[in-house]
Structure 1
Amino acid sequence: MNPVLTIEAVSVHAGSQRIVAPTSLALVPGRPLTIIGETGSGKSLLAQAIVGNLPDGLSAEGHVTIGDVSEDAGASGRHALWGRGITVLPQEPWLSLDPTMRALPQVAETHQFVAGLGDAEADRAAADGLAGVGLSEAGAKYPFQLSGGMAQRLAFVVARAGGAPIVIADEPTKGLDAARIGEVVDLLRKGLADGGALLTITHDVEVARRLGGEVAIMLKGEIVERGEADLVLTAPQHEYTRMLLAADPRHWPTRSPADPSVATEGNVLALRDVSASRGGRTLFSGLSLAVGPGEIVGLTGPSGCGKSTLGDVALGLVRADAGMVQRQASLPPAAFQKLYQDPVAAFPPRRTLRRTLGDLAALHRLDASKIPELMKRLRLYPALLDRRPGQVSGGELQRFSLLRVLLLKPALIVADEPSSRLDLVTQKEMIELIVDAADRDGCAIILISHDEALVDAVADRRIRLDGDVSVREPDRQSA
């Protein structure tokens, strides 16, 4: 079968510095190709070079052929194919969705102006698309009223509405629970069954395994291993691939309990008979929870069940409908911190990261000399400090979020999907840093995650919200 997309020796450069090595590949209908790599490895930049949408300051070399359009990688003729011939499922839904439009009109607009449907037909197609990803009740909501996982699914539906036969999916399952990941994988596979072509960029090895086809492993801008998914992911040849697979949370050793000598008397946080709702729907009720110094409490459950809302109630960012929330009175407000699920929404977009961290240190009279040490531990290069949030990858920005929180030496961190944007290797390193804050400094942690294997590996106990008013609290051994 003839390829519908071919790239020949495509590379990405920042001035004289090469970021992505010359790469060649071809996409054929019905056969997926998945690129796996750690955060900042260059896999998303390669995808942007293919589409012709690199950030300012970067350039591409090589050759790209999409259908009948064949041109140098740095040319712009393939822009005319966006939406109709090739589409991208974005990595950051908050940057691709219109914050002033409700969900259903956003989808219908693409059906109307890209696919050419009439008004009524576009509305019906939009409603069907939302229903297909479990968002039937979200059509009248704005993006800011949706959870991170729901926003990701909305972005998925918008991107697919134009009917493009070539799909580049950039971290399409990021932040989704296991059930929703399965739905997105099924949608991607359906597009293949209908004769489409698929290039997926991901750090989720399980997604690559379920998609099948061919996989390519990228490290520092270069493909280091490539082959059939079943073969590469079960019998890897390259040392980095083996390290990547070993970093899966299902292979982590169970964390030992924190040193009791670190703990002090009293709880950092206590919730008693707390209830909360959103959009007229009860998320949870009658929930009681106490978290002591150095304790890690895992919080799991499906998308939209109220995990993030519970974390916000604990921090006082959202008022509970009923019940009592007590935070240790002797601690200042800055001792209660949140790692946001979508860090792009938590940083001033027009300021460099250096200035943002400097302002934080000045405001709270922090020791700014700790910043280089934390950056080294988080594998953040000093040059990134002079970039704005939109000029670094989502994984790099998430690590900057952790750096910012750790500078404040918090007593409680609500970590809301803190590693959903990270590859397996970097995820393990980041979770180890969060665990270290609990074990060494006595910081209490509420760890919100869709990954139950990860939570069970590090949490002292786990609470599961079931998406209604019930709560289950299994022990650590009940994965």
Structure 2
Amino acid sequence: MAAGSTADRIIFNGTGLSSAGRKENPMNTLAIKNLTVRSADGDILTDFSLQVSKDVPVTILGETGSGKSILASAIMGLLPPTLLASGEIYLDGKALHTLSSRARQQYWGTVMTLLPQEPWHALDPVMPVKQQIRETYLKVRGHSKKQADIATSQALAHLGLANAAHSIPSTLSGGMAQRVAFAVATAGGAQVLLADEPTKGLDVGRRDDIVQLLKAHASQGTLITITHDVEVAEQIGGYLVVMQKGKIVEQGKCEDILSRPQADYTQALIAAAPKNWPEKQTASKAAHSFVKIQNLQKQRGGRELFQQLNTTLNKGDIIGISGDSGSGKSTLGDILLGLLPADSGVIEFSQPLLRHEMLKIYQDPPSGFAPHCTLAQLLADLVKRHKLNSDDVFNYMNQLQLHSSLLQRRPAALSGGELQRFALLRVLLLKPQLLVADEPTSRLDPITAKKITELLVESCRAINTTLILISHDSCMLSKICDRVVHLQESPQ
């Protein structure tokens, strides 16, 4: 590391000294020594050592399933009983790994907090947004009612959530739910923030807003951000740790690694960003009208999402839908599938479709799976119900890089990326005529996202499925779609 940089204040392997040999200020120092997390199938995290000091943001960058989220759970003391952790974790010199679960919980919210990967798992499903944030200020922060009201209103306005104050989480878009989760996670005033994929599902503008909030926190406390987004890591700066399969493969100053990556995996991760994808190859084909949309209009939450929407979808086309968070992308997809009614307008299909011929890959993977069954049982039921070839299950699992051991787990025991790939597997087995994929790779690292997106598009083209691909990433859509429909967010 270059002498004099802020990243020099990162301390590794528990030495307790900066690069200049001086003792660090112990306040807001998080030290991890030789942390290993094991499952029945082997190590998920291996000999992870890192010490983070105040004012120096640290970003953990890596592929889906690399152990990033497990690291966050181990730091917080949230590992499931099926996982065994060894090693040491210290916060300002206090040995967290020696504390009981109850004693460790005393740190939650006020001293250290976790912004989890799935916002719907962190929010009360029946409590309005404003009330959830306000109660955190009241119960955790200790604010008076007046202070809590003021702080809540400021947080809602700052995150662009003023109009969602009285909504419940299930009525929000994925990006809006993530912003609510951020507001709740940070309302308690904890100085140590672990942000697990905090910008997934957000449009570029909202993503950048969250990054600025994270950087502001890092200037006053301790920040560890877990992400697979190279651009997020670049914006946060500070120190970068690149992980693959539970191990650190490269670490150092963020700008050095991203500009001059040494590890093959880091190079591949950067090269897989959509801006580096090759331009799509266009092939002429006969156009057969499949869906006609005429004068479609929809309001939600008292706000008009779109009006006078007219377009035609051809059979086998790959159609992208882009737009900011809350612009109505997911709503439009649900209307096309008959899951929501339009306020006015006409949608006309060229042929009648059965229910299983019109499918959706949900933006939030848990919402598409029965929570109390194993993946093996869910897929077996699907194969039996539709008389499918069970060999196709394992063929797709290989293509989607899903280990057979995952079949014995329930959905909640999988990472968001793993569960999203199972959602894709299930859809491909049924070979639908119309498929709406709502942010299908937002939880995946760039390498896996590129592979999965290519597999999705190739599979749909092979069976002549009309694919509606919803994404905030207009660059990615331009590289793979036949046409892109952009929805403009209405003024709030």
Q: Where do 1:275-424 residues align within 5 Å?
A: 275-424=297-446
Paired AA for residue 122 in structure 1? A
**Structure 1, residues 81-137: CA drift from partner, whole Å, max 9, x if none?**
110110011100011100110001101111111111122221221111111111011
Paired AA for residue 405 in structure 1? V
- Which of 126, 130, 139 is equivalent to 1:113? 139
Q: How many angstroms apart in 1 are the aligned matches of 2:34 and 2:106?
A: 23
> Are the structure 2 counterparts of residues 322 and 55 from structure 1 closer, same or farther at C-alpha, using a change threshold of 3 Å?
same
Q: Where do 1:179-258 residues align within 5 Å?
A: 179-193=205-219, 195-258=220-283
What SS is found at the alignment partner of 2:360?
Answer: strand
The answer (yes or no) to whether the contact 1:32–1:199 under 8 Å persists in 2 is: yes
Q: How many angstroms apart in 2 are the aligned matches of 1:232 and 1:17?
A: 29
Paired AA for residue 289 in structure 2? N
**Structure 1, residues 367-392: CA drift from partner, whole Å, max 9, x if none?**
22210000000000011011001000
Q: How many angstroms apart in 2 are the aligned matches of 1:220 and 1:74?
A: 28
Q: How many angstroms apart in 2 are the aligned matches of 1:349 and 1:157?
A: 27
Work out whether 1:2 is the aligned partner of 2:2: no
Q: How many angstroms apart in 2 are the aligned matches of 1:330 and 1:340?
A: 23
Paired AA for residue 84 in structure 1? T
Give the structure 2 partner of residue 267 of structure 1. 289
CA RMSD of aligned residues (A): 1.5
Work out whether 1:24 is the aligned partner of 2:46: no
For normalisation by structure 2, the TM-score amounts to 0.92
1:68, CA displacement in angstroms?
Answer: 4.4
Q: How many angstroms apart in 1 are the aligned matches of 2:58 and 2:283?
A: 43
**Structure 1, residues 393-437: CA drift from partner, whole Å, max 9, x if none?**
000000001001111111111111011000001100110011102
The answer (yes or no) to whether the contact 1:34–1:202 under 8 Å persists in 2 is: yes
What SS is found at the alignment partner of 2:339?
Answer: coil
Q: How many angstroms apart in 1 are the aligned matches of 2:441 and 2:40?
A: 31
Q: Where do 1:62-73 residues align within 5 Å?
A: 62-72=87-97
Residue-pair matches, total: 465
Q: How many angstroms apart in 2 are the aligned matches of 1:92 and 1:258?
A: 39
Q: How many angstroms apart in 2 are the aligned matches of 1:333 and 1:348?
A: 18
- Unpaired runs of 5+ in structure 1? 470-479
Work out whether 1:445 is the aligned partner of 2:467: yes
Q: How many angstroms apart in 2 are the aligned matches of 1:73 and 1:208?
A: 32
Structure 1 range deviating more: 72-81 or 115-124: 72-81
> Are the structure 2 counterparts of residues 71 and 161 from structure 1 closer, same or farther at C-alpha, using a change threshold of 3 Å?
closer
- Which of 201, 210, 213 is equivalent to 1:175? 201
The answer (yes or no) to whether the contact 1:50–1:73 under 8 Å persists in 2 is: no
Work out whether 1:122 is the aligned partner of 2:148: yes
The answer (yes or no) to whether the contact 1:61–1:74 under 8 Å persists in 2 is: no
> Are the structure 2 counterparts of residues 364 and 73 from structure 1 closer, same or farther at C-alpha, using a change threshold of 3 Å?
farther
Aligned residues with identical type, % of pairs: 45
Give the structure 2 partner of residue 85 of structure 1. 111
Q: How many angstroms apart in 2 are the aligned matches of 1:73 and 1:278?
A: 50
Work out whether 1:40 is the aligned partner of 2:40: no
What SS is found at the alignment partner of 1:169?
Answer: strand
1:258, CA displacement in angstroms?
Answer: 5.0
1:291, CA displacement in angstroms?
Answer: 1.3
For normalisation by structure 1, the TM-score amounts to 0.94
Structure 1 ranges of 4+ moved more than 6 A: none
